[in-house]
Amino acid sequence: MSLPKSDSIPLAIVALATVVALYLTMTGSFASVSVEPEYDFDNAEQRELFNLMTAEFGGFLEPKMSGAWAMEGLQAGRKVFEQQCIHCHGTDGRAKTYTAKLLTPAPRDFGLGVVKFTSTPVGLPATRDDLLRTIKEGVPSTSMSRFEGSIGEQELQDAADYAMYLLIRSAVWTDATNRLAKANMSPAAAFTAAIEEQRQQFDLALASSTRPQVPDVADSKRGRKMYFDESLGCLICHQVDTSGGPVAGLDVWGQPMVARDLTQGELRGGGSPADVYLRIRNGVKGTPMPAMADKLTQEQIWDLVSFVRSVQEGN
């Protein structure tokens, strides 16, 4: 076989490059690089507020945080998010992606600054550790898979930093736009007030977060009695046979709600005694699952935990 004549070599290279480019385009290798989202604003004040946000928090692709909010893994976390999370949660965490539309329950929209499963009392946001737990363990029986084992420990930590960034940024934005809409405030004043308020909220959340010590004894019979006590309402939503069912209305993300089937082994917020304790103590945020912290003592909550775990399959 003879070598190609010298003038046909550039042609061969061009042909090869075209095939490679076509292949990359068709497999989406180019399309997967996300771009900074563009927004339409109702008015110039909102645009100004957004510019203040960008000055403080950077863009979604080039995030930054300073002071008490500084996080080491933020930049690296964005890369992990890009590779592992954006097809469901979106570049800006608003979960407005094509994939998200196909999923029930929908991937979390971080835009309200709220997530469901936290270690913090009602009304307070999640801690970074709450997000890390969700990312590690996933949300069983949903498309939110368990990332522990599929990505490294450092990537898990970095992803938690970036998810926290999205949550804080969203909480500040929501707070500031509400102030702008309600009070006669300048965007700068609304922004400053929102930053201050949200710093306090996130500090308070961290200070009041609890990971409870599981007691040696808890009484599932006493728990059962409480479950059937109509004033607590468990059986009204979760049904007499604890198999759950639809609850009227929508959650804060506009999704239909189902009181969880407690007989299923895999609870969404985690099935360990400590997880179930936190769900009953703090409720499930953004949904009607109420917090019992003000109604029941710790001991009573543990009794309920014991009952809930006793109805689970396999226990």
115 part of the interface to ligand HEC, by CB under 6 A = yes
Contact with ligand HEC (CB under 6 A) among 89, 94, 128, 281: 89
Give yes or no for residue 135 binding ligand HEC (CB under 6 A).
yes
Cα–Cα distances in Å, from 244 out to 119, 176, 260, 264? Answer: 23, 38, 5, 10
Based on the shown chain and the rule CB under 6 A, indicate whether residue 195 belongs to the binding site for ligand HEC: no
Q: Give residue for tokens 């110039």.
A: 44
Residue 167 dihedral angles phi and psi, to the nearest 5° = -65, -45
- Separation CA 286–CA 160 (nearest Å): 20
232 binds ligand HEC (CB under 6 A): yes
Smallest separation, CB 155 to ligand HEC (Å): 8
Compute the least distance from the CB of residue 149 to ligand HEC, in Å. 12
Q: Compute, in degrees rounded to 10, the torsion defined by CA atoms 108, 190, 67, 83.
A: 30
Contact 90, 96 (CB under 8 A): yes
* Burial class of residue 45, CB neighbours in 10 A (0-12, 13-18, 19+): middle
Q: Which residues, other chains included, contact 309 with Cβ-Cβ below 8 Å and sequence gap of 6+?
A: 220, 271, 273, 276, 315
Closest CA to 251 of 294, 279, 292, 283: 283
Specify the residue, 107 or 187, whose C-beta has the smaller distance to ligand HEC.
107
Query: Does 163 engage in binding with ligand HEC (CB under 6 A)?
Result: yes
> Between residues 37 and 265, which has the closer beta carbon with respect to ligand HEC?
265
262 closest CA partner among 299, 304, 219, 292: 304
Contacts 24+ apart (CB under 8 A), 178-183: 180/45, 180/46, 180/49
Of 94 and 268, nearer to ligand HEC (C-beta) is 268
User: x/- string (CB under 6 A) for ligand HEC, residues 281-300?
Assistant: ---x--xxxx-x--------
Would you state the structure tokens that stand for residue 285, as one six-digit string? 């945020």
**Binding residue for ligand HEC, selected from 238, 281, 300, 303, defined by CB under 6 A:** 238
Among 76, 103, 185, 204, binds ligand HEC (CB under 6 A): 103
Q: Which CB, 115 or 205, lies closer to ligand HEC?
A: 115
Peptide bond into 212 cis (omega under 30): no
Total number of residues that touch ligand HEC (CB under 6 A): 46
Binding pattern for the stretch 245-284 against ligand HEC, x by CB under 6 A and - elsewhere: --x---------x-xx------xxx------x--xx---x
| Residue among 4 and 152 whose Cβ is closer to ligand HEC | 152
Q: Which is nearer to ligand HEC, 45 or 129 (CB)?
A: 129
Output 35 or 248, the one with its CB closest to ligand HEC.
248
From the list 119, 141, 143, 138, the residue with the least C-alpha distance to 130 is 119
Interface with ligand HEC includes 304 (CB under 6 A)? yes
125 binds ligand HEC (CB under 6 A): no
Asked if residue 237 binds ligand HEC (CB under 6 A), the reply is: yes
CA gap 257, 223 in Å, rounded:
25
Site residues for ligand HEC per CB under 6 A: 84-85, 87-89, 103, 105, 107-108, 115-117, 131, 134-135, 139, 142-144, 147, 159, 163, 232-234, 236-238, 247, 257, 259-260, 267-269, 276, 279-280, 284, 287-290, 292, 304, 308
